[in-house]
Amino acid sequence: MSDASSKASPSRNERLAWAENLRREFTANVSHEMKTPLQVISGYAELMANGLVPPDDMRKFAGLIYEEAQAMRALINDVLVLSHLDETAPGAETRNPVNLASVAERVVHRLEAPAREAQVVVELSADPVEVLGNETLLEQMIYNLVENAVRYNEEGGTVRVSVRAERPQADQCERGTLGKGCGDTEEESPGEAVIRVADTGPGIPVAAQEKIFERFYRLDKSRSKETGGTGLGLAIVKHAALYHNGEVSLESEEGRGTTFTVRLPLA
């Protein structure tokens, strides 16, 4: 083997070292993220147990403990989902037909109240598009995208969700991303399912667009407590798309909103 080829392909030991380093970093981040709500819960509970909270404030303190417990629950759920995706190879599990339009309708319905509270309008346009996959995972993928679009939008903003069947683009056929759908004629090309979630929020800076799918990456750390979220939502979207032999991309312009696009092979 030439020097050039050995440099181009990392060795098995290098890949294992990279995976181990990623695991350690992920574990450290999870531990850090869990400490904050635990400290809040422990602190408030101690004050209540020692009788240091006025009776009129008991309800308020109980509410704060509940909110932090919910944040921990969400974090644990997201960690478990990512761990499952890390350990499961695409195609390793039985897949069933999933109507993405029905899934998107459920997601939009679940987010009606939070959107109304945030003064954001969510619009849905969905064709009955079917893929083979894990319905629970697909629902969480769409939910994460729509919830983020609502959470980081502006008051009076709009979130547009669409589900369509489209033919693969030429660049995807060249990359082999969706090879089964890249026939020369329309009859040979079953196409792909395309999910788009577009918002009218502040947009994502170009420098951050490559990092946005990293685990625990937050665009604005100063607002992370205010807006909530676990920092794992888009990482789950990315890995859920890969799990279904698809891909996710984004287009964004500061001050003009962001559009996330997920492409999956049709059933």
pLDDT digits (tens, 9 = 90+) for 202-242: 999 988 888 898 887 877 654 545 555 678 889 999 999 99
The domain at 96-265 falls in which architecture? 2-Layer Sandwich (3.30)
Q: Name the percent of the chain lying above pLDDT 70.
A: 74
Flag whether pLDDT at 201 surpasses 90. Answer: yes
Of 84-93, 102-111, 146-155, the least confident: 84-93
Cα 57 to its chain centre, rounded Å, is 36
DSSP the chain: --HHHHHHS--HHHHHHHHHHHHHHHHHHHHHHHHHHHHHHHHHHHHHHTT-S-GGGHHHHHHHHHHHHHHHHHHHHHHHHHHHHHHS-TTSS--EEEEHHHHHHHHHHHTHHHHHHTT-EEEEEE---EEEE-HHHHHHHHHHHHHHHHHTS-TT-EEEEEEEEEPPPHHHHHHTTTGGG--SSTTT---EEEEEEEE-SS---HHHHTTTTSTT--S-GGGHHHH---S-HHHHHHHHHHHTT-EEEEEEETTTEEEEEEEEE--
Flag whether pLDDT at 97 surpasses 50. Answer: yes
Please report, for the chain, the start and end positions of each structural domain, with discontinuous segments joined by +. 3-87, 96-265
pTM for the structure as a whole:
0.73
CATH for 3-87, options being 3.40.470.10, 1.10.3210.10, 1.10.3720.10, 1.10.287.130 = 1.10.287.130
